[in-house]
């Protein structure tokens, strides 16, 4: 019997297996985590969800109420009643790189489910910043007849094709009945102090 098969007291050691190695690593990780907690260190937040860079954002119909030449602005709340909604995120390429200057055109119905077809209430466009980030202040849209709650968007990289799509909200009763709804287009929504925040990252194809 070699010394590698026994400890210094002559007792047999158990063979090292993949399972025992994983258990040992898990125990070490738990011990480190506990020590950090005991020392009052702040725990790191989980890595935020990011879009799959190989899969462009799903395209959808623009619907009957799109109007070109919307005003350039980052807030659509002017005179609109309803709960504050902030929509923000990034615009990236299928390579995962930010797209500075990407155009984003938003429009949706008001709290009563009505679109403004005579003016530009709850309509506007903006451009992503140098890091491909955008931020829109608007209101939580109402429910349009025969549809679930949604926001229309057109997104375009400089000199690139236009992506027309729609954004949806999780947990909506009408999501299952809406033939256009897709879970891939859901906003990641949180709520604080009466305001809602939705996050969505657009992935644009070059052609």
- For 76-111, write each residue's pLDDT tens digit: 998 788 899 999 999 999 999 999 999 999 999 999
- Give Cα 163 distance to the centre of its chain: 17
Residues 6+ apart with CB under 8 A from 174: 143, 147, 148, 149, 181
Q: What is the mean pLDDT of the chain?
A: 82
How many CB atoms neighbour CB 53 within 10 A? 14
Which DSSP helix (H) or strand (E) runs through 33? helix 18-38
Instruction: List the structure tokens of 20.
Output: 């025992």
Instruction: Report the relative pairing of strands 123-127 and 202-204 from DSSP bridges.
Output: unpaired
Instruction: Report the relative pairing of strands 133-139 and 84-93 from DSSP bridges.
Output: antiparallel
User: Which residue is it, tokens 């709290």?
Assistant: 111
Q: What sign does the dihedral 20-23-25-31 (CA atoms) show?
A: negative
- For 185-196, write each residue's pLDDT tens digit: 999 999 988 889
How confident is the chain (207 residues) per 10-residue block, as mean pLDDT?
45 48 44 41 45 82 96 92 95 96 97 95 98 97 94 97 98 96 97 91 90
Contact predicate 129/100, CB 8 Å: yes
Sketch out the chain's domains with CATH numbers: 3-38 (no CATH), 84-204 (2.60.130.10)
């Amino acid at each position: 019997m070699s010394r590698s098969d026994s400890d210094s007291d002559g007792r047999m050691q158990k063979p090292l297996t993949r399972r025992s190695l994983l258990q040992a690593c898990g125990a070490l990780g738990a011990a480190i985590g506990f020590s950090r907690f005991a020392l009052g260190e702040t725990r790191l937040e989980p890595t935020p969800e990011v879009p799959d860079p190989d899969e462009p954002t799903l395209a959808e119909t623009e619907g009957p109420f799109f109007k070109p030449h919307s005003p350039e602005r980052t807030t659509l709340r002017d005179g609109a009643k309803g709960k504050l909604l902030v929509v923000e995120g990034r615009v990236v390429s299928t390579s995962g790189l930010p797209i500075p200057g990407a155009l984003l055109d938003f429009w949706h119905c008001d709290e009563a489910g009505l679109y403004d077809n005579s003016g530009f209430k709850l309509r506007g466009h903006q451009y992503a910043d140098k890091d491909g980030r955008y931020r829109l202040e608007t209101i939580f849209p109402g429910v349009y007849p025969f549809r679930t709650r949604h926001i229309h968007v057109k997104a375009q990289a400089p000199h690139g094709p236009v992506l027309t799509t729609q954004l949806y909200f999780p947990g909506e009763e009408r999501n299952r009945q809406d033939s256009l709804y897709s879970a891939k287009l859901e906003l990641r929504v949180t709520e604080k102090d009466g305001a809602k925040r939705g996050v969505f990252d657009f992935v644009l194809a070059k052609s």
